[in-house]
Amino acid sequence: MKKIGFLLLLFTLFGNAQEYVDLLRIGYGQTFANNFEGSDNGTQVTSLEVNLTFPVVLNKNNALITGLAFSENTLQLYPSVGTLATPFSNLYSTTLKLGLSTTYNEKWSTTLVLLPKIASAYRPISKEDFYIGGVAILKLQKTENLIYRFGIYTSTEAFGFFTTPIIGWYYLSPNTRFEMDMSLPISADLNYTKGILTYGFDYFGIGRSFNMQQDGMKNYVDLNSLEFASYIQLNALEKSVLLRAKFGYSSNDYEVYAQGDKIDFGLTAFSFGDDRTQLNPDLKGGLFLKFEAVYRFHLKSEK
């Protein structure tokens, strides 16, 4: 009975249309080649991502959101000179998730999550590696199959303060085959399921920074990336384990700046008061291949 009550509360807190929670997501990807502007040389970019989310029900209207997100990006930040290859740099980010999901009535609910993180090369870790961010989402259950989202994401970064509004929706067709999960301008996912396979297209836009202290130099990396991909997904164990292969294009741009060289304000894709001096050449985008594994907890089926 306690388990049934727990599941019923989760179902109420996370909505009727979105009938699942992704508790664990692991992804590994690599670009084929990214060339530097004005150079014949380029680099490959490899990425590893682990995202854990664990909701804890407090009462019939509130759930504590906890979790951890880790990422590692490996690439050359500068082009090789002649036969002298520049070393690869490892950029790490570890983010703690701590928040509250609250349901007010059948239509309205909110999710507030604090996102402190450490982002740097981790050699060594200093106070400049610590950043604080957060996201606030207001959700409207418009119909049984449709949820609207309105929110804002903010974060302190090595380049300054950054914020972006979030407007989106979640839609699941009555036959549960077509799904649309939109949180613009950050992410978008459209997919269609037939049998044990799901075919989809997704987009993910990210902007973040990593502090770097190497060879006595104090710099930081400003990452701006837009990923567009199509994917095929195998739905195993009654759609609880999802195995996904993605192929697409990523506009990876890892810009290096001196520590303390900042913008006045960042809003979505716009930077105000940006008179920084970039220390490395621009990196062109490239094709990438990525594999993901997801553990998905289904609320409605368990209910």
pLDDT digits (tens, 9 = 90+) for 125-159: 888 899 999 999 999 999 999 999 999 999 999 99
- Predicted pLDDT at 16: 58
pLDDT score, position 186: 92
Q: Counting beta carbons within 10 angstroms of the beta carbon of residue 87, is it exposed (0 to 12), middle (13 to 18) or buried (19 or more)?
A: exposed
**Which residue is it, tokens 């973040």?**
208
Q: For position 83, what pLDDT does the model report?
A: 67
The pLDDT score that the predictor gives to residue 300 is 61
Q: What is the pLDDT of residue 267?
A: 84
Phi then psi for 107, rounded to 5 degrees? Answer: -110, -40
C-alpha to C-alpha distance for 267 and 236, rounded to whole angstroms: 40
Per-residue three-class SS string for the chain: CHHHHHHHHHHHHHCCCCCEEEEEEEEEEEECCEEECCCCCEECCEEEEEEEEEEEEEECCEEEEEEEEEEEEEECCCCCECCECCCCEEEEEEEEEEEEEEECCCCEEEEEEEEEEEEECCCCCCHHHEEEEEEEEEEEEEECCEEEEEEEEEEEECCEEEEEEEEEEEEECCCCCEEEEEEECCEEEEEEEECCEEEEEEEEEEEEEEEEEECCEEEEEEEEEEEEEEEEEEEECCCCEEEEEEEEEECCEEEEEECCCCCCEEECCEEECCCCCCCCCCECCEEEEEEEEEEEEEHHHHC
Question: What confidence tens digit (pLDDT) does each residue in 26-50 have?
Answer: 999 999 889 999 888 889 999 999 9
Can you list the residues of the chain whose pLDDT is less than 70?
1-17, 82-83, 215, 300-303
